[in-house]
Amino acid sequence: MSSAPAPTRHHAPGVRASLALLVIACILPVAVVTAFLIVHFYQRERAQLIDHTISRARAIIAATDRDIASTQLALQMLSTSTMLLKQDLRGFHQRATGLVDQLGADSIVLLDTDGTLLLSTRRPYGAPLARLGRAPLLQRILASGRPGVSDMFIGPLNGRPIFSVGVPVRRAGATVMTLNAIFTPQRLQHVLSEQKLPANWRASVLDTEGRVATRSRELDTYAGRQVSAALRQQLASASESGLATRSLDGQDVYLVYSRSTRTGWSAVLGIPSEELTASLYRTLAWLVSVTLAALGAGLALAWLLGGRIADSVQALVAPARAVGAGASLAIPPLHFREANELGHALRDAALSVRQARADMRESEQRLALAANAAHLGIWTRELSDSRIWCSEQWRALFGFAPEQQLSLADLLAKVHPDDRAAVRDTLNHTQHGAPRYDMEYRLLLAGGEQRWIGSHGSIEHDAQGRPLRVRGVSLDITQRKQAELEVQQKQKEVTHLARVAMLGELSGALAHELNQPLTAILSNAQAARRFLARPAPDLAEVAEILDDIVDEDKRAGDIIERLRRLFGKQDMPRQPVDAGALVDGVIRLVRNDLIHHGLTVRTELGEQALTLSADPVQLQQVLINLLMNACDAQAAPQLSDGVIVLRCARDGDAVLFSVIDHGPGIVQETLPRIFDPFFTTKTRGMGLGLSICRSIAGAHHGTLWAHNNPDGGASFHLRLPLAEAAP
């Protein structure tokens, strides 16, 4: 539904024409009267204004010197930091970062004597940095040993005009580097604003080359720009003076300046040329009585025109409010053409608002349908007062009533006790500005039902960069998590089957391993019977025989316990494992099988004790599998020297196990596939051994790989991280 066009008054004057009449009526009488007097007062008032302006320029350059001096003092104190003396650049970077805001600097940098950037607070510690070369400020500090300030230059890290305040860093009386605070032109703007200069004046601070270090107007446009050659020549000729010129933005000004004897920088103030005369008019107070009559006529006309303008504006207030409500507008005839045009614009805006609201409602409905179809719950949390809004689908996922008022405590009460602390920590991090988060956790619903939830949120910030609210979605991932658990269970069963298959391969050796202590027990028992059958048995000898029987029985028990752990279905929890003891235990398990194959294992263990955090049973399975594969590779005596090398050594922050055989090696075409499931070169192999071994290595955050040796045979390497030292 559209509003009827507002009627328009014919020949309505424009606002600009009415205001032009107002200006003429107010200014022209005053200009005519004061024209006769301006010549007499001009020279005196102009001289006074220039003298006063030079005093302001002195104050500005003095304030600039104080800022630079205070910065140099702060940098000198920072340069004596013990972290810098100890070359703890990481700690010094953190401390310098904390001082950047206090100094009002863009960044703090540490510069080597050859111009190399050692650190910059604009980059994380260790990030690549540019090389400045022999910068002028660096040269001056190295030559004089005193603090200094650079001219304006383009920063290598931010690509913007900057200047640098630097101090030497000394060791043993020599300058070994410089500590510099980098400032943007905005840093010095306060020395201009403190003078409370008129808004239309131009004020700048120039470096020794005449480049703009800061400016009161359009700083982003003119920062680092060099003034005209004529002005630079004038600046070089005298420490204080004035001249008529044109500013960088094309404004005709009378310019005065004062140069610092300390830094060589200059404070420059430009008075608009018209202000030199306008300020004089304002000083002629006695002319007020003369101009009152003329102003009265002008004000009368202004009153008439202003009233009409006010009436037109007031007539548009109600229609403007109706635009916000999306209602139809009724705009009466107005005095001015522009007001009538504004009325038509308001009418069009009302139509646009109604259409936008209709489109927004349709978009919200589509979003709700899409969320319901995907079973997504949408939520919003206000960080200022912890208010929570959520969709109906979200309430259904979490088991909340449609109208129930929600709080963060209500949400955490639904979370499974084992996941509650992690969820609380994640939500708390959002209040400290974390940009987004993704987490998975369980809900404990009524009746003991557990439901897995995937939650994804992002943070919104206000204009000052502070966290404002969190928006996100939640969805039910119970089926996926159950599928993952089933896959993990199947992996455990396959791993157990591989160990059982290994038991079949080792059965002969294990029978021999158990036969030795059992034969010794039988022999010692028979001997004890014979001793006891004597008329005067030697009880001490019988006691020794019984001790031997006990030792052999323990030995058999140890063998059975190792086999039970190795071939049990349940994996052991992670625990500290000594790498050398692990190797010794594996050698004992496969010793008789090695003897049966006519092979020996040469162990190469380092002197340093190495500890892993691992499942010892799973690591035994990996090493046994690798050793049995090495036995199969050296089954033909003519192909090897009968020696398998098992090496254990430290590799950085990890332990490296190596099993090296001297067999025919691995066919090059099959080498990339030997860790694939169900791939085997054995006639009765399952093709799961090496695949399971690599999975066990990955579960321990390690790696397993193989390669052929240059002198024949193959090597398998298992690299596992060392256990972290206890705090």
Question: Residue 5 has what pLDDT?
Answer: 47
Q: Are 601 and 594 in contact (CB under 8 A)?
A: yes
Residue 727 has pLDDT above 50, yes or no: no
Locate tokens 């002969």: which residue?
508
What totals of helices (H) and strands (E) does the chain contain, helices first?
A: 20, 23
| Predicted confidence band of residue 532 (pLDDT cuts 50, 70, 90) | confident
Least confident of 382-386, 481-485, 552-556: 552-556
Q: Which of 37-51, 60-74, 712-726 has the highest mean pLDDT?
A: 60-74
Structure tokens at 717: 């390497």
What would you report as the CA-atom Rg of the chain, rounded to the nearest whole angstrom? 44
| Predicted confidence band of residue 706 (pLDDT cuts 50, 70, 90) | very high
Return the HEC string of 261-326.
Answer: CCCCCEEEEEEEHHHHHHHHHHHCHHHHHHHHHHHHHHHHHHHHHHHHHHHHHHHCHHHHHHHHHC
Gap between the Cα atoms of 119 and 139, Å rounded: 19
Q: Are 64 and 163 in contact (CB under 8 A)?
A: no
Question: Residue 490 has what pLDDT?
Answer: 59
Least confident of 39-43, 92-96, 178-182, 260-264: 39-43
Locate tokens 């104050």: which residue?
59
Residue 694 makes CB contacts below 8 A (sequence gap 6+) with 675, 704
Gap between the Cα atoms of 152 and 185, Å rounded: 9
DSSP 350-402: HHHHHHHHHHHHHHHHHHHHHHHHTTEEEEEEETTT--EEE-HHHHHHHT--T
Question: Residue 375 has what pLDDT?
Answer: 59
Question: Residue 514 has what pLDDT?
Answer: 60
Residue % of the chain over a pLDDT of 70 = 69
* Arithmetic mean of pLDDT, 89-102: 90
More confident residue, 644 or 473: 644
Question: Residue 379 has what pLDDT?
Answer: 73
What backbone phi and psi angles, to 5 degrees, belong to 228? -65, 160
Beta-carbon neighbour count of residue 399 at 10 Å? 14
Q: Are 583 and 623 in contact (CB under 8 A)?
A: yes
Q: What is the pLDDT of residues 649-694, one digit of tens each?
A: 999 899 999 999 988 888 888 888 888 877 777 766 666 678 778 8
For 398, 495, 625, 632, the CA distances from 498, given in Å and listed in that order, are 42, 5, 9, 17
Locate tokens 């510099």: which residue?
180
Gap between the Cα atoms of 121 and 274, Å rounded: 46
Question: Residue 508 has what pLDDT?
Answer: 47
DSSP 700-716: TT-EEEEEE-TTSSEEE
DSSP 447-512: GG-EEEEEEEEEEEE-TTS-EEEEEEEEEE-HHHHHHHHHHHHHHHHHHHHHHHHHHHHHHHHHHH
Residue 348 has pLDDT above 50, yes or no: yes
Average pLDDT, the chain: 77
Q: Are 592 and 538 in contact (CB under 8 A)?
A: no
Question: Residue 259 has what pLDDT?
Answer: 92
| Predicted confidence band of residue 167 (pLDDT cuts 50, 70, 90) | very high
Residue 473 has pLDDT above 90, yes or no: no
- To the question of pTM greater than 0.75 for the whole model, the response is no
Q: Identify the burial level of 630 via C-beta atoms within 10 angstroms of its C-beta, where 0-12 means exposed, 13-18 middle and 19 or more buried.
A: buried
* Arithmetic mean of pLDDT, 427-433: 67
Angle between the N-to-C axes of helices 288-315 and 15-34, in degrees from 0 to 180, rounded to the nearest 10:
170
Gap between the Cα atoms of 368 and 513, Å rounded: 70
